[in-house]
A and B are shown apart, each in its own frame.
Chain A
């Protein structure tokens, strides 16, 4: 019997400090047993439990894309027990990864459609995975227009800044980067909260356009009316939830919203689905 709680052993291969406050670090992991990488075959939007013996596990969205081989990558905010310990670990240290878990963004449903990707703060991780996946030469032709609205408090709080700049330069993806505010005179992108920029830049909703939103509750709360105003149907609004988790496989009972488990039936739901469940997220 496959033990769903047993992590694959991994080694930390690279650590990148992402933000000016140093609270967000990206970790690249390499599997100790190469065959485990195949078993860890994942889709953009899934997550994994990062497992540190002696500390515990945390559910973290997979930030690398299935099209990137040889490593898996996560970006972790320093919050509490496990994430703080992880931030103090070094390249070469051994830990575990359990997954992939959850359902992923509905790539089969959005095939051939236009996508508006809206992200805020550090919840951009699985959106990075998605963008890398979409821009892969093997996949790009399968999707329509791609708009990305991504914001952080300040320029120094944006994740993956080198990649954002690369994407800005491309003509097969429309980037709308924004910050809440900045005193940097050279800032050449938008200034304003994500919902405001979304209102200005998001294409109008129609049958062939889907919005994927990932961000703090407050951003989601104010973005939803914007999408409503721009005629996005609720089954065309896709969101990823973060409930407290332990098992990640629908057994420990804590992450439910109604009968759905965020860990197993989610974390990705359409707004139409969420409208039918108790708002316990």
Chain B
């Protein structure tokens, strides 16, 4: 694994060079916060941020995307037959993605890249995307990545990891995709491997020490699913929730979607749109029966999916990278850390433990 040294001035030069062959995305300041956006010819990413309000998932998994097109014009030979659309073919790169958000793509990939079915839209966009991570030196108080399987310097899911070392970035090139991007950017100055590794380790330890909040997950896989589902704390947990769906919308590891047809004149598209388990219509049958018709059932589904079903299904940990977005933006302060710990410590036959 190679560690390059990129002078801060050379970063923008490299990015300008990259724009010839890549569509670039990076953090940009909006009125109230930072969001990932397409970087046009004269734009540079703004690295002066802790993390964006929305996760960057839309770059690979758009909020609304065309799956097929169709014609309803009877004169067309292919009327009523769905046609595949051309998929993204130019490479794209996200510059300055936080390690937790890059890791989130790996979690989500397990859903879209199943042994029996492959989602061509997600997988194609993922394959075309290079993730240039930016290690976190100042995590927020709501970040709990280190106990959620990720970390401020986590290399999981990133192709290159940039660490801010004062006048330079130390760029750890992790994958072939990463090295192709570095080459195209003209970043080729090697660093002294020993001192660079040491410097990154030092920064990493300092950053990890600043993570002040944690979740406990060691018992989640051992608790009986139906007992946990019946636990008394769901009522209280869900009490304040207004089912606004903000949590699932912002979350980098939420992937649920809806499919809808939209017709304009005689032409139309079959679209897929982000959806949310927080909405009653998500599960309501044509008959009106709804297996998750109450707020409690929906809140429970969100946490059980992330912290129990996913854990049992894939045996690689929770479906959460600890980015803290859902905690920061929930209008009624529902806190996944607290619920995770409640679940982890739940003992079906004993009195409920107080939240830690």
**Footprint of B on A, CB under 8 Å?**
1-7, 9, 32, 51-57, 79-80, 83, 93-96, 217, 242-244, 246-247, 249-259, 264, 275-278, 280-281
| B270 contacts across to A, CB distance below 8 A | 5, 53
Least CB separation from B254: chain A residue: A253
Q: When chains A and B are docked, how far (Å) is the Cα of A1 from the Cα of B29?
A: 38
Q: If A96-B81, A264-B116 touch, does A253 touch B255 (CB 8 Å cutoff)? A: yes
A-B CB contact pairs (8 Å), 18 listed: A1-B123, A3-B84, A5-B67, A9-B80, A32-B81, A52-B80, A83-B286, A93-B80, A94-B79, A96-B80, A243-B283, A244-B284, A246-B259, A250-B117, A254-B277, A255-B283, A258-B229, A259-B313
In the assembled complex, the Cα of A276 lies from the Cα of B310 at a distance in Å of 16
Give chain A nearest CB distance to B287 CB in angstroms.
7
CB contacts under 8 Å to A, within B264-313, are: 268, 270, 275, 277, 282-287, 289, 291-292, 297, 301, 304-305, 308-310, 312-313
Q: Is the beta-carbon distance between B287 and A79 smaller than 8 angstroms?
A: yes
Q: Which of A2, A3, A53, A256 contacts B261 (CB 8 A)?
A: A53
Report how far A250 CA is from B277 CA in the complex, Å. Answer: 15
A244 touching B283 in the complex, CB below 8 Å, given contacts A253-B256, A253-B277: yes
The 9 nearest A-B residue pairs measured at CB:
A253-B256, A79-B286, A53-B70, A259-B309, A94-B80, A280-B291, A249-B117, A278-B229, A80-B286
Measured CA separation A247–B112 after assembly (Å)? 12
Distance of A128 from chain B, by nearest CB (Å): 21
Residue among A2, A51, A249 with max Cβ neighbours from chain B (10 Å): A51
Judge whether A4 and B313 touch: CB under 8 Å: no
User: Which residue numbers of B lie inside 8 Å of A, CB to CB?
Assistant: 67-68, 70, 72, 79-82, 84, 111-112, 114, 116-120, 123-124, 225-226, 229, 255-261, 263, 268, 270, 275, 277, 282-287, 289, 291-292, 297, 301, 304-305, 308-310, 312-313
- Cα(A90)–Cα(B82), bound, Å: 19
B70/A54 in contact, CB under 8 A? yes
When chains A and B are docked, how far (Å) is the Cα of A244 from the Cα of B259?
12
Q: How far is the CB of B85 from chain A (nearest CB, A)?
A: 10
Q: Which listed residue, B68, B257, B312, touches A246 by the CB 8 Å rule?
A: B257
With a CB–CB cut-off of 8 A, which chain B residues contact A252?
256-259, 275
- B272 CB → nearest A CB, Å: 8
Q: Shortest beta-carbon distance, A254 to chain B, in Å?
A: 5
Chain B residues with Cβ below 8 Å from A259 are 225, 308-310, 312-313
Within the assembled complex, what's the spacing in Å between the Cα atoms of A2 and B116? 11
Residues on the A chain within 8 Å of B275, using CB? 252-254
How far apart are the CA atoms of A276 and B224 in the complex, in Å?
9
Q: Name the B residues within 8 Å of A9 (CB-CB).
A: 80-81
A281 to B297, CA, bound (A): 12
Does A5 lie within 8 Å of B292, measured CB to CB?
Answer: no
CB pair B68 A54 closer than 8 Å: no
Minimum CB distance partner of A55 in chain B:
B261
Q: Tell whether, in the assembled complex, residue A4 and residue B81 are in contact, meaning their CB atoms are under 8 Å apart.
A: no
A54-B263, A252-B256 in contact; A4/B268 too (CB < 8 A)? no
The residues of B that contact A249 with a CB separation of less than 8 Å are: 114, 116-117
Min CB distance A252 to B, Å, is 5
Min CB distance A176 to B, Å, is 26
**Chain B, residue nearest A275 (CB):** B226
Considering the complex, give the chain A residue whose CB is closest to the CB of B74. Answer: A94
With a cutoff of 8 Å between Cβ atoms, the chain B residues found around residue A94 in the complex are 79-81
Q: List, in ascending order, chain A residues with CB within 8 A of B312's CB.
A: 259
- A sample of 7 more A-B contacts (CB under 8 A), given A9-B81, A51-B82, A258-B226, is A3-B120, A217-B289, A243-B283, A244-B283, A246-B259, A253-B275, A254-B277
**Structural contact, A276 and B285, CB atoms closer than 8 A:** no
- Residue of A at shortest CB range from B279? A254
